[in-house]
A and B are shown apart, each in its own frame.
Chain A
Amino acid sequence: GQQVMQIPQYQHVQEGEDFTTYCNSSTTLSNIQWYKQRPGGHPVFLIQLVKSGEVKKQKRLTFQFGEAKKNSSLHITATQTTDVGTYFCASQVAGNNRKLIWGLGTSLAVNP
């Protein structure tokens, strides 16, 4: 069935370093959503990408959707301690536009 693989599972960086997490699928995705979950918190919706090759930015965060719509990335420039958390990607199940398939997440730790 449809799966979304997310790498890396964990990332530990020094404050100020960049960070990237990747989301990959063997099948074409209709869209990709990104969420952030702070430790002890709940997932918070960040953004949705729909178009092939789409790039969106939110301050230090850059989101990309691959040309073939089989992969996506989230890049954080100059990480801060407030970026700590787990970042999840999710995509809609083919034929069910409100059911999501989730990656397992990338946990980001930032050393001050």
Chain B
Amino acid sequence: NAGVTQTPKFQVLKTGQSMTLQCAQDMNHEYMSWYRQDPGMGLRLIHYSVGAGITDQGEVPNGYNVSRSTTEDFPLRLLSAAPSQTSVYFCASSLQGADYGYTFGSGTRLTVV
């Protein structure tokens, strides 16, 4: 099993550009989520999904869109990149229920110039 796969690992964007961060998991996890991690800010939830076709906003959703057409994939779209979106982005997944920890992808380091 590959676990949670994120692509790309690194990306530089110009202000105003759009892009999609990919996340795929092969563990049949129902729950998937996107976090951003900034120095001193910890992990902040952007969007999450409890299953195919169901998504919801986290604490910092502005400027990002998600969709969940399959159980395996949960892409994150940046609509019009801004320097404030420079961050490390992590995708995480888990089984439903209260007894399971999250499995994280290796992250995407995004710089917006």
Which residues of A come within 8 Å of B, CB atoms? 30-31, 33, 35, 41-48, 50, 88, 92, 97-100, 102-105
Contacts and interface: CB of A to CB of B under 8 A. Distances in A.
B53 interface: no
B41 interface: yes
Nearest to B90: A42
B103 A105 contact: no
Interface stretch (B14-22, B69-77, B78-86, B94-102): B94-102
Given A35-B101, A98-B94, 20 more contacts: A31-B98, A35-B102, A42-B90, A42-B104, A42-B105, A42-B106, A42-B107, A43-B90, A43-B102, A43-B104, A46-B101, A50-B98, A97-B96, A98-B31, A99-B45, A99-B48, A99-B58, A100-B45, A103-B42, A104-B40
A71 B31 CA distance: 26
Contacts of B98: 30-31, 50, 92, 97
